[in-house]
Every structure is written in structure tokens, then in C-alpha cells.
Amino acid sequence: MLLEGSVELSSEVRGQTSEVRRRFAMSEIEPDFNELIHRVRDSIILRRITLIFFLILVNVLRFGVKAPFSNAVSFLLVVWFLTSFIFAYLIRKQKLVSRIDSIHLGYFILEVLILTCIVHYIGAVEWVGAVFYIFPIIYANIQMTKEKGLIVGSIAIVCYISLALLEYSRIIPHKTFFPLAPNLYLDTTYVATTIGGSAGMLGLVAYTCGIFAKMLKRKSDELEEKVVERTQELTESEEKYRNLVEKSFDGIYIWQDDGFKFVNDKFEEISGYTAEELEKMDFKELVAPESLELVSEEISKRLSRERPSKHYEFVALRKGGERIDVEIYSAAINYRGKPAIQVSIRDITERKRLEDEIKTRLEEMERWHKLTVGRELKMVELKKRLKELEDRRS
């Protein structure tokens, strides 16, 4: 049925659809204030839980199995934990999204620096300690923009390379956590530390995945609500447009791929054909022979976008062969992803008849005016001649 898909005709609907896409895109780039606060709050909670876990783990391994953790490691973990409260305080004082993002970025950079110190004190350069930087880099890229995530990642790379070069150049002393001794796998301290560290790392991964899943679920729910809201708005707009099109005093149709893709009731009335009949017809069947060249040329210009819109008149043929004068307003559009022409057509036969009648009467009046003026001029000329004759006689 040609009326199906009429909602796709509205420029207003297309505009609102574009607006929905734009808002969704913006929602991924510039989150609103409340969404950002939620993300930052989750980030603070994740940091504190992680740091408490590792602080406990370090001290259990240190005092339980005599793992060679220095006091500096515990101190750095405590400092890291305490800075989360300073960070939370600064965030609460902000009212602008841009300021919150800047503070968040600054805290990520501080964490990378603290982490670099920890990597140094546990001798992690010796056993590829770069793995510790994975988490802050992932968090930064998920919780902030791509550009700021890139900044954090770049700083982490620079810090690790700098640490390795400083130790290699002996500018700072190298710390050895476990000496590479034979049968190290039989060392109780080494095994306990490895198991505890691995369990802690895997637990952190699992917990982090849970946090991200929660964030994604919340985001999904928010987007679903927005989709429902925008869909309702579009549905209302489409209904308004449908009513406007169907109740229009002008015929409206869409021409695409050499066929009618949509017609309203008024166009059926003007042409005398039903929508089903028009769907199977060529437009040339509705055009008088003397207007066919003009109409074909205009259709070609619309589809090629040579002239996106145009107003013109031509002689059309109704069902049964009746000739009528019509006025066209046509514009190039995209319909279902392909070029098409949307046309508003009006029957101006009666108007043309009245215009011709008025023109005929004006021409008649002009002839009578000329005749009347001519007679008056002749009378004036005769009176003048008579006066001249009288003057001669006298």
C-alpha cells in the first residue's frame, strides 16, 4: 500500500531523527553532570577497595611469610588511599563537568606516578612490571574521553621507560624483590607472594569487570529510556505530519525509480486514479503531449540535484482523458536512502479559466476604449474644421 511509509516524507521527522542521533552521539562524548558523578563515585569506590585489599595483602605477606616488601610500598599504598578522599572532596566542590574531568585526569596522572614508585620498590622492572599500568590505562579510557585516555596512557609509558633507563644508568638504585636463585619455586615466601599477588590481580580483574558491567547496564537503561522518549516524540510528530498530508488542500506524491511511492487522497482526487492504480502507472500517462518534454526535463533536474526545487505549470490528463491545468512545487529529497522527488500539485484549471476570462474582457474593454477615444478625436477634428469654415465665410 502506497500510504505505508508516509511518515518518511516529513522533513520535520527526518530532522528530529537526526537530532536523536546527534543527542545519542553527544551522550557518549559529553555525559551530563549526574552521569559523570555516578562514574566518578564508582571509580573512587573501586580505588579504595582495591587499595585496602593490596595494603592488607602486602602486610600479610610481609609479616606472615617474610616477603621482602619495603616500608615504602606500604607507605605509598596509604598515600594513594588517602588521596582518594582529597580527590572526592575536590569533586564535590565542582559544578562544571569540564572541571570534574580535569581533576579526574590529574588524579589519574598522580596514580601513575605513585604506581611507578611502587614498581621501583618491588623491583618490577626486572619482571615486566608494565603490567601494573594496564588498569589505570583501561579505567582512564573507559571513564574519560579518548584524548584524555591517550594522555594517561602516554604518561604511563614515559614513566615506565624512564624508570627502566634510570635504573639501567644507575642514576637510581635497582631494587631486587626476589633474587633469581635456583629452585625459586620451592621458596615458601616466593610461592606465597606469587599466589597472593596472582589471586589479588585476578580478583581485581573480576571485580573490575563487575563494575564495568554495572556501568554498561546503567548506560544501556538510560539509552533505552531515551529511545522510548524520542520514539514517542517521533510518533507524535509523524502522526501530526500524516494528518497534515492527508488533509492537505494540495495533492502530494513522491516519485522515485520511475514510479509513485506515495500519494495522498487529494492527489487521487485530482488525477482520478486510486493509489493502487497509480502505483502501476508511468507519470507520462498523466501528462499532456505538449507538456511532456517540460515535465521530463524537470524530473531529471530534480533527481540529479541540478535544481533542488522548482515551481512550474503544465497541462495534465485526468482519468478518462480530461485535460486540466496544474501547478507544481517539487523538491529533491532522499526517500528510503535513495534520491526522490516530493511534489505538491494543485488543480488550477478554474483559476486559469477565470484568468483567461478576465484577460478577454480586458482586451474587449481596451478595444472599446480605443474606439471611444477615436470617435472623440474625430469629433474634435470635425468641430475644428467647422470653426475654420465659419471663420472663412465671415
Cell 609479616 locates to: 63
Burial 129-158 (b: 16+ CB within 10 A, else e): bbebbebbbebbeebbbeebbeebbebbee
Closest CA to 103 of 154, 158, 44, 60: 44
Cα–Cα dist 322/271, whole Å? 10
Q: List, in sequence order, every beta strand (DSSP E) within 203-354.
A: 251-256, 259-263, 309-317, 323-335, 338-347
- Report pLDDT digits (tens) over 49-96: 888 888 888 888 778 777 777 888 889 999 999 999 998 888 888 888
Is residue 108 predicted with pLDDT exceeding 60? yes
3-state helix, strand, coil in the chain (%, to 5): 70, 10, 15
pLDDT over 70 for what percent of the chain? 77
Closest CA to 85 of 56, 45, 125: 45
CA 243, 246, 248, 251 dihedral sign is positive
**Please, what is the angle between helix 188-246 and helix 134-143, to 10°?**
10
CA 232 to chain centre: 18
pLDDT at residue 29 is higher than 50: no
Question: What is the band of 205 on the pLDDT scale with cuts at 50, 70, 90?
Answer: low
Residue 5 φ/ψ region, left for φ over 0, alpha for ψ in the -120 to 50 degree band, beta for the rest: left
Can you give the C-alpha Rg of the chain in angstroms?
Answer: 42
Tens of pLDDT, residue by residue over 267-324, are: 999 999 998 999 888 888 899 999 988 888 888 888 777 776 778 899 999 998 899 9
Closest CA to 143 of 89, 220, 215, 48: 215
Q: Which three cell numbers, joined as nine digits, stand for 91?
A: 569533586
What is d(CA 113, CA 115) in angstroms, rounded to the nearest whole number? 5
Q: pLDDT confidence of 326, banded at 50, 70, 90? A: very high
What per-residue confidence (pLDDT) applies to 20? 43
Whether this prediction's pTM lies above 0.85 is answered by no
- Tell me what percent of the residues of the chain surpass a pLDDT of 90: 13
SS (H, E, C) 140-194: HHHHCCHHHHHHHHHHHHHHHHHHHHHHHCCCCCCCCCCCCCCCHHHCHHHHHHH
Average pLDDT over residues 187-197: 66
Q: Mapping DSSP to helix (H, G, I), strand (E, B) and coil, where does residue 287 land?
A: strand
Domains by residue range for the chain, with CATH: 6-234 (no CATH), 251-347 (3.30.450.20)
Cell triple for 77: 599504598
Least confident of 96-100, 176-180, 222-226, 343-347: 176-180
How many Cβ atoms sit within 10 Å of the Cβ of residue 292?
A: 14
